[in-house]
């Protein structure tokens, strides 16, 4: 098997990412712990060596008081004081009257060191490019009570650092073993934790056409955002599938009659040799084809409008006072052909909303189509814009036969047509208007046209601030 396929090179691994994320902090923790151990060991070594340094100073003082009648240090004692296996230690004895009595002349305590008492004082000093730690004490010369002696013992810092390093080297294996054990436990925990996803994976994998929600039962808290996102996706898929099924059912329902009529009139034309009968059949076929085309177009428009309810879409700021007159002007020639006087009435100032130009055009086209189809020749139809508080109201009004108020609540339902209407239609125009209005957050209202008869359809849009603001 290809090694790349075997190891999944190029594919992200959650387990590897988790372990890497944990391993790096563990290594940093090991380094930090080693640093802390070394600093702690150095502090401890300094403390022990400082105590030993004080003891050596006190021993030298005692020796000066009991075993050195002339104030000098015996060669054997001097050797012991200065001996260090890999270096050199220092001591000095200074007399206030005679100066250096014994030891290294460079080892002198700083001035003011003995201001706080007669206890041995510790300090750092540099001699011959060596850093030293020294302890000094003042004593009365036992051979000359009027004389003061300064007794100092100093040592290099090498032993202190060496002992701290030894402690560190002794602790590193134990710390490494501890970190390795912690990493092994983390690896086992990650492995066990990821296995909690196996039942969920199997549950989803066993589904074929089931889009029911996964739900929150038996789902770890950390996975809930993922499962809820999947449930949201399932909900959108169910909605889309329902729309598709509804479209297929609607298309079958609405196209069945025109297709059956086409078949009947085609058979009439084939079976007859009378030119008038053939011409009448062809006229019926042409009318049925036009009806089928319009029905299919409106079914597609309704499906798009229903799909848009589940989408945010891209909106822009639109000035209805400029857009609506332009769209109305595009339909004037059709209104003239239908014998209807189509006009516009609106303010001169801008009326801003957040919307989609193409959906608004489809909404207005369906409202105008509805008026052209049902108002009748010789009638008036007016598209109006007004401001109502914080809303922008667009209204389409005609003085045709109108709709009885009892049916207002059902206007906007799919395939609903007012009983008694003689005009052909699919009952989808106002349903499309309703869906597009809902997508814009607008409200659709139906009224009887005041003083004229006919129907008035109002769409109230929430207003928006102009882009320049």
The answer to whether residue 85 scores a pLDDT higher than 60 is: no
Res 468: pLDDT: 57
Specify whether the CB–CB gap between 238 and 211 falls below 8 A.
yes
Lowest mean pLDDT among 152-161, 174-183, 419-428: 419-428
| DSSP state at residue 244 | H
Taking residues 361-377, what's their average pLDDT?
85
Q: What is the architecture, at CATH level 2, of domain 221-306?
A: Orthogonal Bundle (1.10)
1 — pLDDT class (breaks 50, 70, 90): very low
What percentage of the chain carries pLDDT values higher than 70?
Answer: 78
Q: What are phi and psi of 354, to 5 degrees?
A: -95, 120
Phi, psi dihedral angles at 323 (to 5 degrees) = -75, -50
Say what percent of the chain tops pLDDT 90.
9
* Range among 3-17, 372-386, 406-420 rated most confident: 372-386
Domains 16-165 and 221-306 share a fold: no
Higher pLDDT, 202 or 326: 326
Give the residue, 241 or 318, on which the prediction is more confident: 318
In this predicted structure, what is the pLDDT of residue 6? 41
Average pLDDT over residues 385-408: 88
For the ranges 51-55, 117-121, 372-376, the lowest mean pLDDT is seen at 117-121
What is the pLDDT, as a whole number, of residue 279?
A: 84
Are 160 and 52 in contact by the 8 Å Cβ rule? The answer is no
Structure-block tokens of residue 61: 């003082």
Angle at 269 between CA 268 and CA 273, to 5 degrees: 105
pLDDT tops 70 at residue 70: no
DSSP string computed for 40-85: HHHHHHHHHHHHHHHHHHHHHHHHHHHT-TTS---HHHHHHHH--T
Q: Is the pLDDT of residue 318 over 70?
A: yes
- Mean pLDDT over each residue of the chain, to the nearest integer: 78
Number of H helices and number of E strands within the chain? 11, 12
Q: What is the mean predicted confidence (pLDDT) over 149-168? A: 86
Compute the half-sphere exposure of residue 25: CA atoms within 13 Å on the CB side of its CA. Answer: 8
Residues 404, 411: Cα–Cα separation, whole Å: 11
Look up the CATH architecture of domain 16-165: 2-Layer Sandwich (3.30)
Predicted local confidence at residue 304, as pLDDT: 65
Question: pTM of whole model > 0.75?
Answer: no
More confident residue, 306 or 204: 204
Q: Which residue in 390, 408, 418, 406 sits closest to 456, CA to CA?
A: 408
- Confidence band of 394 (pLDDT split at 50, 70, 90): very high
Above 50 in pLDDT, residue 277?
A: yes
Domain range annotation of the chain: 16-165, 221-306, 314-462
Query: Over 80: is that where the pLDDT of 142 sits?
Result: no
Least confident of 53-62, 198-207, 283-292, 419-428: 419-428
Q: Which of 330, 397, 398 has the alpha carbon at shortest distance from 361? A: 330
Answer with the residue of higher pLDDT: 81 or 465. 465
> Residue 362: which H helix or E strand, with range?
helix 357-374
* Strands across the sheet containing 130-140: 99-103, 90-95, 148-156, 130-140, 121-127
CA–CA distance, 39 with 449 (Å, rounded to integer):
92
Tally Cβ neighbours within 10 Å of residue 258.
Answer: 21
Residue scoring higher pLDDT (364 or 246):
364
Asked whether the predicted pLDDT for residue 230 surpasses 60, the reply is yes
- Determine the average pLDDT of the residues in 245-264: 66
Q: What is the model's pLDDT at position 334?
A: 84
Q: What topology does CATH give the domain 314-462?
A: Heat Shock Protein 90 (3.30.565)
Under the banding of pLDDT at 50, 70 and 90, the label for residue 87 is low
Q: What's the CA gap between 269 and 247, in Å, rounded? A: 32
Residue length of the chain: 469
420 φ, ψ (degrees, to nearest 5): 90, -5
């Amino acid at each position: 098997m290809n090694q790349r396929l075997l190891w999944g090179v190029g594919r992200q691994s959650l387990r590897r990412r988790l372990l890497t994320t944990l391993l790096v902090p563990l290594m940093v923790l090991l380094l930090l712990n080693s640093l802390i151990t070394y600093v702690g060991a150095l502090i401890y070594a300094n403390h022990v060596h400082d105590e030993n340094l004080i003891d050596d100073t006190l021993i030298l003082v005692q020796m000066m008081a009991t075993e050195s009648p002339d104030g000098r240090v015996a060669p054997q004692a001097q050797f012991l004081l200065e001996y260090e296996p890999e270096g050199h230690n220092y001591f000095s004895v200074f007399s206030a009257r005679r100066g250096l009595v014994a030891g290294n002349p460079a080892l002198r305590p700083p001035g003011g060191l003995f201001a706080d008492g007669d206890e041995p004082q510790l300090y750092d000093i540099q001699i011959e490019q060596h850093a030293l730690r020294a302890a000094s004490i003042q004593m009365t010369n036992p051979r000359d009570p009027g004389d003061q002696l300064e007794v100092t013992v100093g040592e290099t810092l090498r032993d202190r650092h060496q002992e701290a390093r030894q402690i560190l080297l002794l602790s590193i294996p134990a710390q490494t073993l501890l970190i390795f054990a912690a990493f092994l436990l983390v690896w086992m925990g990650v492995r066990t934790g990821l296995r909690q996803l196996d039942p969920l994976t199997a549950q989803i994998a066993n589904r074929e056409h089931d889009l029911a929600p996964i739900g929150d039962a038996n789902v770890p808290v950390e996975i809930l955002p993922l499962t809820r996102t999947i449930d949201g996706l399932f909900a959108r898929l169910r909605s889309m599938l329902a729309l598709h099924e509804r479209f297929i059912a609607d298309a079958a329902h609405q196209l069945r009659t025109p297709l059956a009529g086409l078949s009947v009139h085609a058979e009439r034309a084939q079976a007859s040799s009378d030119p008038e009968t053939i011409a009448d059949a062809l006229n019926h076929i042409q009318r049925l084809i036009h009806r089928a085309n319009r029905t299919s177009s409106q079914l597609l428009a309704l499906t798009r409008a229903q799909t848009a309810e589940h989408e945010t879409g891209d909106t822009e700021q639109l000035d209805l006072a400029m857009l609506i007159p332009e769209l109305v002007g595009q339909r004037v020639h059709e209104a003239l052909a239908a014998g209807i006087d189509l006009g516009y009435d609106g303010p001169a100032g801008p009326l801003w909303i957040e919307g989609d130009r193409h959906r608004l055009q489809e909404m207005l086209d369906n409202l105008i189509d509805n008026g052209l189809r049902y108002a009748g020749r010789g009638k008036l139809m007016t598209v109006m814009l007004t401001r109502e508080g914080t809303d922008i109201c667009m209204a389409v009004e005609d003085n045709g036969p109108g709709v009885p108020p009892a049916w207002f609540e059902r206007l906007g339902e799919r395939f609903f047509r007012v009983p008694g209407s003689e005009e052909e239609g699919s009952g989808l125009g106002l349903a499309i208007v309703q869906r597009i209005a809902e997508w814009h957050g607008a409200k659709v209202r139906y009224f009887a046209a005041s003083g004229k008869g006919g129907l008035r359809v109002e769409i109230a849009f929430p207003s928006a601030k102009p882009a320049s603001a």
